[in-house]
Copies of this chain bind each other. A is one copy, B any other.
Amino acid sequence: MKPSGHSHSHDHAAEPLSDLTSRLRQKSRRITGPRQAILDLLRQHRHPMTNKEIHAALADGGCDLATIYRSMHLLTEMGMVKRFDFGDGVARFELVTCDEHAHHHHLICTCCAEVVEIDDCFAAELEARVAAAHGFKSVTHKLEFFGVCPECQHAGHSHEKRARKKPCGC
């Protein structure tokens, strides 16, 4: 596993870990290497990652893929990670931050799968309206945009055989 060293700084980077510690303790869950490594990784990448990508990135002395799946379930349940579905049948995860960046959406290129973060959100009021109209509680929402990015618009029609699974069309 990655050498822990001294990571007691107070910058944003350190938050997830201390947060993890306290939250895990509340549930009599343990702070393990894999869990720390996964959060570390998610903190570095700002884009959503699939479990396979996480597994690959943790390759050096990394943990088992099954452990990653189990960890993502746990972290999602604890609200430290958020799951996204871009329509290709593969789950993607992002760290839930505490800053203004916390809630955001994505703009995904249906051609090259590029992902752009969209901080703009406006659905909060809608959530309230929807909840009231149907008597639901704890209403949240997921909103993603899909389109063709500038590069793909110019990149002619190179028949790059992208699997049907990828958020791709060309």
Contacts and interface: CB of A to CB of B under 8 A. Distances in A.
Interface of A: 1-2, 73, 77, 83, 85-87, 89, 91, 107, 109-110, 116, 118, 120, 122-123, 126-127, 129-150, 153, 160, 162, 164
B134 A116 contact: yes
Given A120-B129, A133-B1, A85 B87 contact: yes
B126 A150 contact: no
A127 B120 CA distance: 11
B136 A140 contact: no
Contact of A89 (B91, B110, B120, B129): B91
How many identical subunits does the complex contain? 2
A85 B143 CA distance: 11
Contacts of A120: 126, 129-130
Nearest to A126: B122
Given A2-B133, A132-B1, A146 B150 contact: no
Nearest to A109: B136
Contacts of A127: 145
A2 B118 CA distance: 30
A144 B164 CA distance: 22
